[in-house]
Amino acid sequence: MSRKYFGTDGVRGKVGEHPITPQFVMHLGYAAGKVLAGTGDMRGERSGVLIGKDTRISGYMLESALEAGLIAAGIDVYLAGPVPTPAVAYLTRALRLQAGIVISASHNPFEDNGIKFFSGNGAKLPDETERAIETELDNPMQTNASDKLGKAKRIDDAVGRYIEFCKSTFPCEMNLRGLKIVVDSAHGAAYHIARHVFHELGAEVVAIGAEPDGKNINDGYGATKPANLQKAVVEHQADLGIALDGDADRLIMVDAAGKLYDGDQLLYIIARHRHAQGKLHGGVIGTLMTNLAFEHAMQKLGIPFLRAKVGDRYVMELLQQNNWQLGGENSGHIICLDKHSTGDGIISALQVLHALRGNNQSLAEAAADLHMYPQVLVNVKVTGKASSLLELQAVKDAVAEAEAALDGKGRVLLRSSGTEPLLRVMVEGEDGVLVKEWVERIAGVVRGLA
């Protein structure tokens, strides 16, 4: 059964437009509650669900709608307030709840929002559970009898619990003293968390992107807009910079000279360090977007490497299938399953810092051996279904011509976004001029048909 509402990362859209309306979200909470109600413990106690959110102004409205729907279905609700997406995953496990719900649209602008779910073990909700919730959405809401309604409780120590959890993933015999770090929280969910994690481990921290007003999340700051971080690192003469996205599950870093390092480069630093220590369990999972240079570097180190479809849920699936622990995307989603059940920007940064401290290297030195191939990505806005464009002969012909021109020394990848009305066109190869030429030609063909 195809899913009507759930995409690759929950239910997402523009606030006030279906499905991100208070009416639908209340019904979504109710449907999720009915599906989850049968997973409580054997003593007959009600099931419990944690709700966290980022700093978007619409989070208040959607939190109330979810809370009402869940309580109507007989579910106890635990409110964590603004916390990172991975904090919800952790707290759901720590509190032994049946599920966690995050109200966030990640790196999108504040006008968008979304609802995504975690299972009781802190992983993304299985496809079959999402389908069951969608099936339940076809039924009308019928509020439980008063004696079978849920209750709501605020978790006052959610932030402190999560800060301590993050710190626990860094070696206890190691500290960050002597390091000056600029931390950019994108005016998002980690604005009151990230700086404290690194400071309490000993670093001198300069915080930017840490003054949310409900409307400025991801606006000029964060992992998708790192220019202010690059500027701040140089101005403050910091050793490095750390940028998270709005819900803090994505990581980008900057060296002392202001140079950017993406998820592929950071994953390389972690993988090589663990491999050298004999602590890399199995291989590494990347995605279709992972740079060819990363794959070649893994081969040189003798580390097994596999590609998943784009999306952290698919990286997770391959990790679990192979019983491996480390994977990620070039966008900055990095998963370290020995540290957390999901991708976590703060914890990923700590794993990079572990490698830097362990090898007594700067960020630039640690990544120097990885020579990235030029990779250009162009997002083309579409009005219909993006995937249908991939079947058009003109698009197929353009891709074939590009592949012939690259002559086995590069790749072409076209894919539809799982969260936005976009067709992503990517070309990479050894020859940067050729890469740029062909990505523009293919994108031009797509625009003419979109």
Q: Which tokens hold the place of 97?
A: 């709840």
Tokens 């919730």, residue located? 133
Closest CA to 353 of 193, 138, 135, 202: 202
Cα separation of 337 and 324, whole Å?
Answer: 8
Q: Which tokens hold the place of 62?
A: 């959607």
331 catalytic per annotation: no
Angle between helices 22-36 and 127-137 in degrees, nearest 10: 120
Distance of CA 364 to the CA centre of its chain: 24
Angstrom distances, CA of residue 140 to CA of 26, 27, 28: 12, 8, 11
Cα separation of 61 and 118, whole Å?
Answer: 21
Task: Give residues with Cβ within 8 angstroms of 18, minimum separation 6.
Answer: 24
Question: Is residue 40 classed exposed, middle or buried when 0-12, 13-18 and 19+ CB atoms within 10 A define those classes?
Answer: middle
Closest CA to 267 of 313, 335, 185, 316: 335
Question: Which one of 106, 119, 341, 348 is the catalytic residue?
Answer: 106
Reported as half-sphere exposure (CB side, CA atoms, 13 A), residue 281 has a value of 11
Cα separation of 333 and 311, whole Å?
Answer: 9
What is the chain's length? 450
Which secondary structure element, helix H or strand E, spans residue 105, and what is its range?
Answer: none
Closest CA to 304 of 277, 273, 331, 327: 327
Residue type, 9: D
Three-class SS of 189-215 = CCCCCHHHHHHHCCCEEEEECCCCCCC
Report the catalytic residues. Answer: 106
